Amino acid sequence: MCWLLPELIKFGAIEPKYAEECKDEVTPGTSTFDVELMNKEGLSLPDGNPCKKIAGKWAVSEEPPQHTGFSRGNSQSHGPPIVTHEGEGSAWSTHGYDGSDTEWGAGTTYDSTIGCSGREISRDMKAADWAHAHDTVDGVMDITHALYTLPCALAPDGEFAPMGFGLSFSSGDICESILDRVLTGAKFINSQVSIENSLQWAKDDTADCNSLQNFYARTFCDLHCLRDTVKTGDTAILKSLEGAVDVMGKNTDALLEHYSANLQDSIDGLKETTGSSLLEDAQTMRKKMDGMFLEMSQMLSTEVMRSSRSTASRALDHFSALFDDSQGFQGGNASTLMPLLFQETENLHSVISLASSDRPSSAAQVASRSASLLGEMQKTFKARVHVIGVYHTLAQDAKASQSSLTTMARQAVTSADVLDEVRHESTLSFLLDLDRTWWALREHLDSYIEKTGEQTKAYKSSFMLLDSYTAAFFDVCCCCWCCYYCCCFIVVV
């Protein structure tokens, strides 16, 4: 029976499922990045997730302008509506110190963090300009005050006495006092301008993003995604490896079952073709040899001439010598010994048939039988003569006759010996049949042992191939792991 090759199971690697906040669509720098999607996914995360700190949004609302007066009992409002912005999470606004308009931004990206740092530098430069202007104006006012107070020191004292008495005063002191009050007012204005600038600077700096804070938030989110990528990738690799081993085991079992079934079918077919033919040949030869031994037994049961009897005796001795003590079976095979046994049996049958065909004449047969009977009678007479002790001379003659008759009787008894030999050969043939059956079974056992050895070699070869495949697969997995961790190390650096 021809077994079809089994359909092998195909293996597919498990695709890792990363966290929603770590996918390419919400990761800056990728081709599919969308900042609005990043803010939406980040704000939906639970508290404690570091990626929630990088998301933000602005809520814009419009309010009517403030009331400025009443007309006929109705309030009057003038101007455009007031637009208000309410930020949530990582939301900021830029104020153009460089003359640009205010922009509203949300979400922490690498570019936005660099932008925050640039605007911090520009605000620091603006604060330095304001401080320089304040200090410069303050110094100018001090110098101006000093210059203007110099003429006051040279001014003469004044008197007012229209009636010979009155008031006297120092005009220099009055001049310096007036200039001091003017200087104090100017410095107050200069300080108020500096205070207002500092307050506005602080408001703008607070409304804008902080580069250090954004850097930490972005870094913590990236580390969170890196950890998720490593854990998810490791889980996918382990599951893929487990699936690969399972698939490989099932495919190996299917292939072994397929080839084992083919091997068993081949053994069964060989057993049916060879075993049945050998058994049939053995049974046929056995039936023929049984028939030939039966015929030879019948042939030898009749009277055979002395010359033919010696020929048959030599043939029987030769047949017995060939297969006596099972020497003809040592180191041989049943398939080769059966034809030899059958051929020798045919030769013996031919010799016995030829010997039995050369029979004596009827007169010779009667004489032989008569001699046999006379011998028996002589034995009886001899016994009687010895009992009664009469006719001693006759007894001597009877003894001579008895000796001759005994010789003839011995020659006649040779046919009985032949029958015993035939019986011996029949017994030997039975033993040969039994031994032949054993060799027939031994042939099947030898064939089974040979096929079992081949099957063992096939199993050994299959397991060696499986071991080589497992070692190669392990090397590939190690290479994949090394490449994977190298990539992770590069990303972290």
- Quick check: is 64 in a domain? no
Are residues 190 and 286 located together in one domain of the fold?
Answer: no
- Do both 212 and 268 map to the same domain? no
Separation CA 271–CA 452 (nearest Å)? 13
The pLDDT assigned to 224 comes to 92
Distance CA 197, CA 203 (A): 10
Answer with the residue of higher pLDDT: 361 or 427. 427
How does 174-195 read in b/e, with b if 16+ C-beta sit within 10 Å? Answer: ebbeebeeebeebbeebeeebe
Short-list 32, 60, 26, 29, CA closest to 44: 26
Q: Report yes or no on 270 lying in a domain.
A: yes
Segment among 81-85, 244-248, 422-426, 444-448 with least mean pLDDT: 81-85
Does one domain contain both 249 and 193?
no
- Tell me whether residue 410 is in a domain: yes
Q: According to the model, what pLDDT value does residue 20 have?
A: 87
Kindly state whether residues 190 and 328 are assigned to the same domain. Answer: no
Q: What is the pLDDT of residue 70?
A: 46
- In which band, very low, low, confident or very high, does the pLDDT at 221 lie, cut at 50, 70 and 90? very high
Lowest mean pLDDT among 51-60, 135-144, 332-341: 332-341
Q: Is residue 180 part of a domain?
A: yes
- At 193, the pLDDT band (50, 70, 90 cuts) reads very high
- pLDDT for the residue 220: 94
As a whole number, mean pLDDT of residues 212-239 equals 89
Residue 275 clears pLDDT 60, i.e. is over it: no
**DSSP at 3:** P
Q: What is the mean pLDDT of residues 146-162?
A: 68
At residue 125, does pLDDT exceed 70? yes
> What average pLDDT does the chain have?
72
Are 24 and 109 found together in one domain?
Answer: yes
Whether residue 321 is contained in a domain is answered as yes
Which residue, among 42, 22, 18, 20, has the nearest Cα to 107 in the 3D structure? 42
Q: Is the pLDDT of residue 269 over 70?
A: no
Residue 190 maps to a domain: yes
Domain boundary among 223, 252, 269: 223
User: Between residues 233 and 387, which one has the greater pLDDT?
Assistant: 233
Band the pLDDT of 493: cuts 50, 70, 90.
Answer: very low
Containing structural domain, residue 267: 242-360+371-492
CA distances from 400 to 223, 376, 391, 403 (A): 136, 14, 14, 5
Whether 195 and 260 map to the same domain: the answer is no
The pLDDT-based confidence of 368 (bands split at 50, 70, 90) is low
For range 371-380, the mean pLDDT: 60
Give which of 171, 135, 167 is closest to 153, Cα–Cα. Answer: 171
pLDDT confidence of residue 4: 64
Other Cβ atoms closer than 10 A to 372: 16
CA atoms lying within 13 Å on the CB side of residue 316: 25
Q: What is the mean pLDDT of residues 356-363?
A: 60
Compute the average pLDDT of residues 200-222. 88
**CA-angle at 109, arms to 104 and 110, nearest 5°:** 120
Report how far residue 278's alpha carbon sits from residue 444's, in angstroms, rounded to the nearest whole number. 10
| pLDDT for the residue 391 | 46
Rounded CA gap, 471 and 485, in Å?
A: 21
Between 107 and 151, residue with greater pLDDT: 107
Q: Are residues 199 and 329 in the same domain?
A: no
**Which of 212 and 254 is assigned the larger pLDDT?**
212
Residues 196 and 247 occupy one common structural domain:
no
* 327 and 454 both lie in a single domain: yes
CB 18 within 8 A of CB 27: no
Identify which has the larger pLDDT, 4 or 206: 206
- The better pLDDT of the pair 270, 17 is held by 17
Looking at the domain assignment, is residue 8 inside a domain?
A: no
Share of the chain above pLDDT 70, in %: 57
Residue 492 scores a pLDDT above 50? no
Around Cβ 215, how many Cβ atoms within 10 Å? 16
pLDDT at 162: 60
Which of 15-19, 52-56, 88-92, 458-462 is most confident? 52-56
Q: Is the pTM of this model over 0.85?
A: no
For residues 34 and 129, state if they share a domain.
Answer: yes
Residue 357 token pair: 């065909």
Q: What is the DSSP string of 416-454?
A: HHHHHHHHHHHHHHHHHHHHHHHHHHHHHHHHHHHHHHH
Asked if residues 278 and 333 have their Cβ atoms less than 8 Å apart, the reply is: no
3-state secondary structure 207-248: HCCCHHHHHHHHHHHHHHHHHHHHHHHHHHHHHHHHHHHHHH
- Tell me the pLDDT tens digit for each residue of 290-334: 787 777 777 766 665 555 666 777 777 777 777 665 554 455 555
Of 335 and 296, the structure prediction assigns the larger pLDDT to: 296
Number of structural domains (the chain) is: 2
Per-residue confidence (pLDDT) for residue 345, from 0 to 100: 79
The predicted structure's pLDDT at residue 424: 77
Sign of CA pseudo-dihedral 228, 234, 237, 242: negative
Minimum mean pLDDT range among 112-116, 423-427, 464-468:
464-468
Domain co-membership, 299 together with 402: yes
Residue-wise DSSP of 85-129 = EEEEESEEEE--TTSPPPEEEES--HHHHHHHHHHHHHHHHHHHH
Task: Examine the domain organization and report whether 200 and 283 are in the same domain.
Answer: no
For residue 122, what pLDDT is reported?
85
Residue 104 CB neighbours (<10 A): 14
Nearest partner of 126 among 213, 204, 215, judged by Cα: 204
Q: Examine the pLDDT at 412 and tell me if it is beyond 60.
A: no
Please give the residue that has the higher pLDDT: either 122 or 289: 122
Whether residue 370 has pLDDT greater than 80: no
pLDDT at 153 over 50: yes
In a domain, 7, yes or no: no
Tell me, what's the pLDDT at 65?
Answer: 62
